[in-house]
């Protein structure tokens, strides 16, 4: 079972920059009402992410689709961006071989290679076209709104390439959409052309959608057990629901960060000591930033609030960031993602009587993690640890749900709406105007000076 330790945020451990137990106790009723308010919105069907772990029927449909693709195709390309791509990348690097795309089909046990070109840099897309055998590829176009420019541009390009090389009929067999059940351009095309589509429930927002077909279809295509992922998420959902608030990991994680924001530490670093979990930090960065960075509170008052999430990686960033974390401004809280069992180890051979000889990489990795945690704590630098027994579908499901729920609770504590993104929308509208989309030209007027 995943565990959360906040020990190194307590005054008893890190001195005056730590939190006193009484400070935590003071927030019990705030946390209770945060959880209560989320629960009533869940019951009224407004927060669909709560329900995703229970959608086993959908998991079965995705696994059936993946079985169809196995053996017939080699590659799976996710065409999406933001919440429609980051979770896919995170699941893949957490739960598949680090060089998955270089393995043979046999080594992949029929699982497809995965590509997630989540940008519109022409160099990236040209490079993909150069390398990809489109006849052996399934294209999953993922967009909640079905209108995002980056996603549609890449879809148009890749679809043309597919039709050129595999014929017009290939689209129906090799393209699958994941989109809103009713609205948007992709849904319209699916209806008109008979392109198969999976649903993103209308009440699930992009960055909370990794446990829907958004993240799970590509996972199933590469052979990840989506049922196990959902099982882990359910375990966490039940644990958080039934624990007293100050024992519920999602509430506690949010609360510690909320207290530190008030103490002047708004920079929240996530530093996995697991190469497999590096992209979970990237996924979390979007979740935390886009959900919590808001100009207005819920009463409409200007607050310009929000933490700044930072992604780091142990041990790599010991040689890049840790100097700053140790001696720079006291404005950070660091979360270590820790793993007990790496599922294997590599011995360091003896050479020249060197002290490293005869030890192992896991021992070195763990020693560096412990040393960094101890060094930071000794300098009064608050840090938390989320520990996974092992990186498995189940523990990753637990982690994802805990961080999603924590984000929602943090939004309640900050009294902002964690589920919208008006700041992103403005850039989207302006891009439409710049790209000549009909009806959007007027957005240019007020920005002319900056453009």
| Catalytic residue check, 290 | yes
- Name the token pair of 302: 């200007």
Candidates 75, 84, 338, 372: give the one binding ligand PA5 (CB under 6 A): 84
| Catalytic residue check, 393 | no
Q: Which residues contact 353 (CB under 8 A, 6 or more apart)?
A: none
Candidates 8, 148, 218, 222: give the one binding ligand PA5 (CB under 6 A): 148
x/- mask, ligand PA5, residues 422-451, rule CB under 6 A, reads --x---------------------------
Q: Which of 58, 290, 369, 398 is catalytic?
A: 290
Angstrom CA distances, 228 to 22, 63, 234, 401, stand at: 39, 12, 10, 13
Q: HSE of 428 in the Cβ direction (CA atoms, 13 Å)?
A: 13
- Name the token pair of 355: 């002290």
Size of the residue set binding ligand PA5 (CB under 6 A): 15
Contact status: 267 vs ligand PA5 (CB under 6 A): no
Q: How far apart are CA 33 and CA 38, in angstroms?
A: 8
Q: How far apart are CA 332 and CA 380, in angstroms?
A: 11
Q: Which of 106, 168, 299, 319 is catalytic?
A: 319
Evaluate whether 249 touches 239 at the Cβ level (below 8 Å).
Answer: yes
Contact status: 190 vs ligand PA5 (CB under 6 A): no
Question: In the 8-state DSSP scheme, what is residue 349?
Answer: P
Q: How far apart are CA 256 and CA 265, in angstroms?
A: 11
In the complex with ligand PA5, which residue's Cβ is closer, 8 or 148?
A: 148
Question: In the 8-state DSSP scheme, what is residue 112?
Answer: P
Contact status: 234 vs ligand PA5 (CB under 6 A): no
Span of 30-38, 156-164, 204-212, 410-418 interacting with ligand PA5 by CB under 6 A: 204-212
Q: HSE of 402 in the Cβ direction (CA atoms, 13 Å)?
A: 27
**Terminal Cα distance for the chain, rounded:** 51
Contact status: 83 vs ligand PA5 (CB under 6 A): yes
In the complex, least distance from residue 428 CB atom to ligand PA5, rounded to whole angstroms: 7
Contact status: 88 vs ligand PA5 (CB under 6 A): no
Contact status: 205 vs ligand PA5 (CB under 6 A): yes
| Catalytic residue check, 428 | yes
In the complex with ligand PA5, which residue's Cβ is closer, 151 or 195?
A: 151
- Name the token pair of 281: 């930090």
Contact status: 212 vs ligand PA5 (CB under 6 A): no
The H or E element that residue 21 is part of is helix 21-26
In the complex with ligand PA5, which residue's Cβ is closer, 205 or 306?
A: 205
Contact status: 145 vs ligand PA5 (CB under 6 A): yes
The H or E element that residue 120 is part of is none
Contact status: 218 vs ligand PA5 (CB under 6 A): no
Question: Which spans of this chain sit near ligand PA5 (rule: CB under 6 A)?
Answer: 81-84, 143-145, 148, 151, 205-207, 290, 421, 424
Catalytic residue set: 290, 319, 428
């Amino acid at each position: 079972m995943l565990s959360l330790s906040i020990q190194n945020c307590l005054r008893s451990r890190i001195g005056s920059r730590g939190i006193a137990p009484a400070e935590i106790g003071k927030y019990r009723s705030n946390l209770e009402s945060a959880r209560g308010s989320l629960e009533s919105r869940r019951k009224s069907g407004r927060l669909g992410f709560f329900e995703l772990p229970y959608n086993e029927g959908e998991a079965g449909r995705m696994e059936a689709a993946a079985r169809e693709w196995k053996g017939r195709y080699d590659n799976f390309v996710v065409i999406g961006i933001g919440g429609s791509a980051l979770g896919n990348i995170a699941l893949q690097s957490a739960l598949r071989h680090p060089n998955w795309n270089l393995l043979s089909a046999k080594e992949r046990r029929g699982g497809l290679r995965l590509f997630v070109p989540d940008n519109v840099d022409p160099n990236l897309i040209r490079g993909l076209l150069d390398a990809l055998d489109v006849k052996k590829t399934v294209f999953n176009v993922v967009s909640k709104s079905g209108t995002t420019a980056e996603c549609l541009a890449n879809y148009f390009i890749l679809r043309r390439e597919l039709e050129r090389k595999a014929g017009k009929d290939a689209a129906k067999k090799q393209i699958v959409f994941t989109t809103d059940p009713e609205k948007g351009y992709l849904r319209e095309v699916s209806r008109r052309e008979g392109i198969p589509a999976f649903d993103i429930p209308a009440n699930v927002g992009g960055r909370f959608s990794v446990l829907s077909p958004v993240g799970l279809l590509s996972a199933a295509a590469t052979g990840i057990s989506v049922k196990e992922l959902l099982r882990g998420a359910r375990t966490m959902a039940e644990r958080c629901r039934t624990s007293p608030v100050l024992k519920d990991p999602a509430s506690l994680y949010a609360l510690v960060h909320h207290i530190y924001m008030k103490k002047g530490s708004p920079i929240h670093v996530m530093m996995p000591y697991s190469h497999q979990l590096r992209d979970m930090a990237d996924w979390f960065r979007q979740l935390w930033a886009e959900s919590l960075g808001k100009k207005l509170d819920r009463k409409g008052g200007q607050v310009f609030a929000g933490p700044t999430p930072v992604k780091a990686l142990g041990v790599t960033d010991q040689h890049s960031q840790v100097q700053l974390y140790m001696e720079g401004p006291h404005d950070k809280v660091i979360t270590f993602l820790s793993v007990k069992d790496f599922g294997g180890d590599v011995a360091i051979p003896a050479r020249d009587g060197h002290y490293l000889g005869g030890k192992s990489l896991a021992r070195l990795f763990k020693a560096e993690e412990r040393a960094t945690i101890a060094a930071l704590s000794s300098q009064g630098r608050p840090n938390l640890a989320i520990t996974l027994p092992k990186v498995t579908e189940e523990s990753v499901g637990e982690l994802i749900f805990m961080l999603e729920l924590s984000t929602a609770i943090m939004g309640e504590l900050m009294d902002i709406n964690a589920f919208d993104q008006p700041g992103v929308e403005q850039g989207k509208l302006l891009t439409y105007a710049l790209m000549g989309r009909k009806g959007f030209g007027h957005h240019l007027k007020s920005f002319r000076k900056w453009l």
